[in-house]
Structure 1
Amino acid sequence: MSLDAFRATLAATRERVHTHTRPIPLDALDDWRTDPETGALRHRSGRFFSIEGLRVRLGDRDWQQPIIVQPEVGILGLLAKRTGGVRRFLVQLKPEPGNRNGVQISPTVQATRSNYTGVHLGSAVPYLSYFRDAARHRVLLDVRQSEHASCFLGKRNRNMVVETTDDIAVRPGFCWLTRAELDALLGEDDLVNMDTRSVLACLPDENPVTDRPAHPLPELLRWITDVRSLTEVTVERRPLHGLAGWRRDRDRISHHEGRLFDVIGVQVEAAGREVARWSQPMLAPRGPGLVALLVTRVEGTPHALVRPAAEPGCADVAELAPTVQHAIGDPIEPSPLLDEVLGAAPDTVLFDAMLSDEGGRFHHSSNRHLIVETPDARPEPPGFRWLSLGQLTELLRHSFYVNMHTRSLLACLRAVEAGRGGLAGVGAATGAGAATATTAGAVSGAATAARTGAVSGGAAV
C-alpha cells in the first residue's frame, strides 16, 4: 500500500467508521454511579475504571486531584509479517470518543482487560489470539509500560509486537503499513495514536548502529536509583467530593482556578466499534500541552536530554521524562529549558507536530511534540542527563524506566533518524524514502507553532 492508497483507505474508513461524542452532565451518565460516601465515579460492573480523589505529597509540594484508577494490564499489540523481505505491521483505523479528528492509526489490538474479557458485552476483539497465545509465533517485543502517570493510578499496558507467518485475512478497518510509512505518518497532526507511538518506541532496531554514549549505562542506572531512593512521595486516596481546590456541579468536576483539566461526561454513538452506544466520564485538558526533546550528537551518536520525574501513578516513584513536559495533569515542575525550546531557530527543529493522547480516557487532549537539535552536548542542568538513543532503547526493554511522553517523542526521533539514514534497517525497502518527510522540520505539523503557543497549565499544581 502506497501512502496515497493509505490516504484513500483512511478517507473511506472515516465515511463508515466513526464516533459521535457530545458532552452530557456527569449525573446523566448511563451505567455509572456516584459513590454516596466518597463521590467517586464507578461503573456499575465494578470494572473498566473509576474516577477517584487523590492527595499527593512530593517533597515540599502538597496537592489534591482527581485521578483515573484502573489497576489493569491492557494489551497494545502490533501484528507483523514479512512479505517480499519487508516487515509490515497490521494497524487498525480506529475512532476513539476523545479523538480530535475521529479515526487514528491504532495498534492491531488496543484493549483493556475489561474490553478483551467481554465486560462491555460487545463483539470480540479481532486478532486478539495472536497476543494471548503469542508463544506460537515470533515475539519481537513484550514489555509492560506505564500510561500517563499524572492521570492514571495503577494502569499498565503490555506493549507487544508479534510476527507471524500465517495468512492473515485483513478485516475492514485494518491495513498493512511498513515502519517507514508509519514514520512518515507520525509527522501528520493527530494521526498516529498514542498507543501505536508507545509500541513503536519500544520496538528494538533491526540493525542497531554503533552506540557511543556520553555516560556508561551502569552510572545512569545508579542515578535513576538514587532519585527513586531519595525522592519522598506519598499518595493517599481521598473522597472525590471533598478535594481541596476542586468543585463539582451537575455537569463536571473543575479546578477552582480553571486550570489543569475537567472531569466531564460524554455520550458516544459509534459505528465500527465493538459497542454502538455508551456513556462515560473523561478527562478534558484546559488547553494544548507541550512535550519536547533537546537532542545532540556525541561522536556521531544521537543523544536526548531527559530527567527522572516523580508522578503519582508511577510504579516506582519516577520515570524518565523529556526535556520539557507540560501536559495534562502534570505535577512535575516547569523545565528550565522551556524558553530555549520554544525559541529555537527553525533550522534546529527536527520535528514539530500535534499528537493526541489516548482518546478512550482523554477528551481532545493533544500535545505539541518538538524535537530540537543543539550542535553540541551542552552542560547538563541539575537533574538532567544526556542519554544515547541506544541506551533509551535498552531501558525500554524493561518496565517503568521511560514515561509515556518520552516514549512518544522517541518514536518521532527514531523516525527522524531513519530519514537521515542513521538507523539502518528501520526504513527498509518499499517505504524507505517516505520517512524523510519527518526530517528537518518538514512535517505537516510544522506550522503548529503559530496556533499552539500556549502550553497546558498542568505543571502549575
Structure 2
Amino acid sequence: MRRPSAEPLSSDLARDRGGHARQGLSGSRGRWQRRRWENRCEEPAISDVHEWLREMAGHTSMSVTRLPLEELAGWREDPATGNIHHRSGRFFTVEGLDVRRPGWAVPAWTQPIINQPEAGILGILLKRPGGVPHLLMQAKNEPGNVDGPQLSPTVQATRSNYTGVHRGRAVPYLDFFRERRGRVLADVRQSEQGAWFYRKRNRNMVVEVGEEVAAAEGFRWLPLRLVRDLLSVPDLVNMDARTVLACLPALDEPGGGDGFGGDGFGGLLARSRDPLAGARHDVQEVLSWLSGIRSTVDVQASPLPLNRLRRWHRDAGRITHESGRFFDVIGVRVEARGREVDRWTQPMIEPVGTGLVAFLVRPIGGVLHALVHARVEPGYTDVVELAPTVQCTPGNYDHLPASARPPLLAHVLAAPPERVRYDTVLSEEGGRFFHARNRYLVVETDEDPLPGHPSFRWLALHQLDALLRHSYYLNVQARSLNACLHGLASEPVSGGAR
C-alpha cells in the first residue's frame, strides 16, 4: 500500500496547483488520449483527467479580484447591525455570533459567521457500464479555488441558484435529483463547517441512472475507482464531491473496489467496511454516548450584530481579528466564462493558515477503527458532531496554554513516516471560502493515546458508513477523511501509483 503524497505521478508532470505535481498532456498526444478515452477504447487514466481539467481551465476561465466590502455591487450593509446581505434577500448574509462555553479554556468569544439558511443540492449521477460504477463529475471553477477547476459533483447548487435568483443559466442535470429520476442510492442532509457557517446544510444525493445519460460539455463519466484514486492528488477533488462520495453506500465493483480481499493495510481497511465485522462499541452505545454529550454540553450561540463584535475590526475594506489569527472577511469581484452567471461580487471568508485534519486509526479485534472526537462548533444544528481525531489550524493555538490546545495534535505531527497512511492537502468549499485548505492525514497507531477520555471513542469503519446514512452525525471534515479512506481500500487504476 502506498502512502499518497504530492510527489510526481510520472516522469512527464508539470508543476501546477500551487506548486504541487500535476500530470498533464499537450499537443497531439493529448488529443489522441482524449479520443481514446471518449471512444472507450481504454479506461481513463489520471493523466486524462488532468488534461481534461487543463482544457476546461481554458474554456471556463475565472478572474477573481479583491474588492473592499463597501464596493460589492448588489450587497448592502444594514445601517443598524452592520450585517452584510444581498439586495435580493437571498443567497447568504454575513452576521455576528456570540458564543459562550462556561468552564472551557476560552469561555466566550464573538465572531463573524455566514448565515445561509437555505439547503442546496449536492448530487452525483452514477451508472454501471459493463457492471463498473462510473460517476458523472463536473469540472467546476469556484472563486475560492487555489488553481482552477476541480472535480465537482454532477450538481452543486444552492436553492437560490437553482431557482434562478441570479437570473443565470439553468443548472444541468438538476431534475434527476429534484424529481429523483433514477434509483436513489443516497439522500441525506448533512452539515457544513460549523465554525464558519451558521446551521448550514446541504442535501447529499447519489442517483443511479441508465447508460443513455450523456455527458454535457464540462462533464465526464469517470470510474468510481479513478475518482477515489484522485483523492490523493492535492486540491483536485473538491469538498462537495468528497462529502457525497462519503455518503455513497458500498457497491459491488469488478476488480475489488469494495471487496474484502487483499493483504496489508488496504485489505484490512476494506474488510473493516463489512457491516458484519465486529466493533469495540455497538451502535446503540455510540448513539447513547453522543446523545449524552449533546444533552449536557453547555454552549450558547446567539446571533449578534456584526458591528458589535469584540476584538474584530472593519478596516481597509475587510473584517479582521485584532490578533491577525483565525480568518478575514473579504470582498471579491468575479468574472467567469462557462458559469451560470458571467460576473458577480460577493463576500468570502479567507482563513489564516492551512488547517490540519487527522484520523488516528488502529486495528481492534482485527477490525480497523478510527478515533472520533465529539466536537462542539457554534454553527452546528445539533451542537455536537463526530469529528476527526484532530481538527484545527495549529497557528491559532500558538498563544494559548497547553491545556487549551487540541489533544493529540503533537502526537499526530510526530508520527513516523511509515505510520502515515494518507497525507494530502485538499481544498475546502470554494464558493464561500477563499483559498481554504487543510492537510488531511490518516495515521496508524498501536495504542490508545487517550484511554477513557469522555469526548473520544473508537468507531469501526463500517460504523462510520452506517452513521452517514443519517443527518448530522459526522461533520464535513470527517466525511472527507472517510471518502479518502475508501480510496485507500480501492485497487489502483492506470496512470497512478499505489
**Is the Cα contact below 8 Å between 2:110 and 2:309 reproduced in 1?**
yes
Give, in angstroms, the shift of residue 46 of structure 1: 0.3
- Residue 106 (structure 1) aligned to one of 132, 148, 152: 152
Summarize deviations over 1:153-200 as a string: whole Å, max 9, x none.
Answer: 121100000001151221111101112101111011100000000011
Query: How much does 1:216 deviate?
Result: 1.0
Aligned positions of 1:184-195 closer than 5 A: 184-195=229-240
For residue 445 of structure 1, what is the aligned residue in structure 2? Answer: none
The one-letter code sitting in structure 2 at the alignment partner of 1:339 is A
Query: Does the residue aligned with 1:265 lie in a helix, a strand or coil?
Result: strand
- My pick for the range that moved more, 323-332 or 116-125, is 323-332
Structure-2 change in CA distance of 1:81 and 1:328 (3 Å): farther
Shift of 1:329: 12
Task: Measure how far apart 1:5 and its partner are.
Answer: 2.0
Q: How does 1:234-253 map to 2 (within 5 A)?
A: 234-253=300-319
Query: Which of residues 370, 375, 385 is equivalent to 2:446?
Result: 375
Distance in 1 separating the partners of 2:96 and 2:395: 13
CA shift at 1:299, angstroms? 2.4
Question: Which amino acid counterpart does residue 291 of structure 2 have in structure 1?
Answer: T
- AA aligned to 2:315 is D
CA RMSD of aligned residues (A): 1.9
Is 1:69–2:140 an aligned residue pair? Answer: no
8 Å Cα contact 1:298/1:377 also seen in 2: no
Corresponding residue number in structure 2 for 1:183: 228
The aligned length equals 425
Partner residue in 2 for 1:173: 218
Tell me the equivalent position of 2:56: 13
**1:271-290 alignment, distance < 5 Å:** 271-290=337-356
Scaled by the length of structure 2, the TM-score of the pair is 0.82
Query: How far, CA to CA, are the matches of 2:137 and 2:108 in structure 1?
Result: 42
Alignment partner of 1:410 out of 454, 463, 482: 482
Is 1:353 paired with 2:419? Answer: no
Match of 1:336 among 407, 425, 428: 407
Query: Which of 48, 72, 82 is equivalent to 1:39?
Result: 82
Confirm or deny: 8 A CA contact 2:45 2:493 kept in the other structure: no
Distance 1:57 1:103 in 2: 39
SS, match of residue 195 in structure 1: helix
Structure 1 range deviating more: 349-358 or 321-330: 321-330
- For residues 350 and 460 of structure 2, the distance between their equivalents in structure 1, rounded to whole angstroms, comes to 34
CA contact (8 A) 1:91 1:174 kept: yes
Maintained 8 Å contact 1:213/1:388:
yes
**Structure 2: runs of 5+ lacking an equivalent:** 1-43, 253-272, 398-402
State how far apart, in whole Å, the 1-side matches of 2:357 and 2:457 are.
17
Match of 1:428 in 2: none
Is 6-15 or 123-132 further displaced after alignment?
6-15
Please say if 1:79 is aligned against 2:125: yes
TM-score by length of 1: 0.89
Contact kept, 8 Å, 1:150 with 1:330, in 2: the verdict is no
> How far off is 1:370 after superposition?
0.8
The 2-side partners of 1:231 and 1:294 are apart by: 24
Structure 1 counterpart SS, 2:236: coil
Percent identical among aligned pairs is: 51
- Aligned amino acid, residue 381 of structure 2: A
* CA distance in 2: counterparts of 1:327 and 1:145, whole angstroms: 23
Is residue 416–residue 436 contact of structure 1 (8 Å, CA) maintained in 2? no
* Paired residues for 1:1-400 under 5 Å: 1-60=44-103, 61-134=107-180, 136-165=181-210, 167-206=212-251, 208-209=273-274, 210-327=276-393, 334-377=405-448, 380=451, 382=453, 383-400=455-472
Find the aligned partners of 1:435 and 1:96 in 2 and give their Cα distance: 27
Distance (Å, rounded) in 1 between the aligned partners of 2:394 and 2:66: 19
SS, match of residue 58 in structure 2: helix
Kept in 1, the 8 Å contact 2:47–2:495? The answer is: no
Aligned 8 A contact 1:180 1:434 in 2: no
Amino acid at match of 1:365: A
Residues 92, 327 of structure 1: CA spacing in aligned structure 2 closer, same or farther, 3 A cutoff?
A: farther
Q: Residue 126 of structure 2 contacts residue 207 of structure 2 at CA under 8 Å; is this kept in 1? A: yes
Question: Does structure 1 conserve the Cα–Cα contact (< 8 Å) formed by 2:355 and 2:393?
Answer: yes
Cα distance in 2 for partners of 1:418, 1:218 equals 30
Q: Deviations over 1:317-353 (max 9, x none)?
A: 1000111001499999632211110111000111111
What secondary structure, in the 3-state scheme, does the structure 2 residue paired with 1:363 have?
A: coil
Q: What secondary structure, in the 3-state scheme, does the structure 1 residue paired with 2:443 have? A: strand
Matching residue's letter, 1:281:
P
Instruction: Kindly report which structure 2 residues correspond to 1:432-443, keeping only aligned pairs within 5 A, or say none.
Output: 432-433=492-493, 437=497
Aligned-partner residue type, residue 70 of structure 1: Q
Deviation at 1:362, TM superposition (A): 0.2
Question: Could you give the per-residue CA deviations for residues 12-44 of structure 1, whole angstroms, max 9, x where no partner exists?
Answer: 111111221111100000000000000000000
Q: Deviations over 1:199-226 (max 9, x none)?
A: 1111111255242111111111111011
CA distance in 2, matches of 1:417, 1:168: 29
Q: CA deviation at 1:119?
A: 0.5
Q: Secondary structure at the match of 1:42?
A: strand
- The separation in 2 between residues aligned to 1:255 and 1:394, in whole angstroms, is 40
Assess, with a 3 A threshold, how the Cα gap between structure 1 residues 328 and 336 changes in structure 2: closer, same or farther: closer
Mapped partners of 1:46, 1:107: distance in 2: 27
- In structure 2, what is the Cα distance between the partners aligned to 1:131 and 1:21? 31
Q: Distance in 1 between matches of 2:218 and 2:102?
A: 48
